Amino acid sequence: MKKLTSILSLLLLIVQNLLSAQDHTNVIYIMADDLGVNVVSCHGQKPPD
């Protein structure tokens, strides 16, 4: 009975995930101390060797 409950719960979670799958905006928040704009290599600074 425990195995059946686990399988049904897993199936319900999968179905719910598939039904609610929409394009959501991903937001990444990076917090750093003593980080300037010119320190990041994507802004022209050379990466350390």
Place of tokens 């704009």: 37
**List of long-range contacts for 9-16, beta carbons under 8 Å, 24+ apart:** none
| Per-residue confidence (pLDDT) for residue 26, from 0 to 100 | 76
Whether the CB-CB separation of 45 and 38 falls below 8 Å is answered with yes
Nearest in space to 38 (alpha carbons), one of 25, 47, 26, 49: 47
pLDDT digits (tens, 9 = 90+) for 21-48: 666 677 888 888 877 766 776 666 676 6
| Per-residue confidence (pLDDT) for residue 29, from 0 to 100 | 86
Ordered by start, the domain boundaries in the chain are 2-43
Handedness of CA 18, 23, 29, 30 (dihedral sign): positive
| Per-residue confidence (pLDDT) for residue 48, from 0 to 100 | 67
Total-model pTM: 0.41
Place of tokens 């179905």: 15
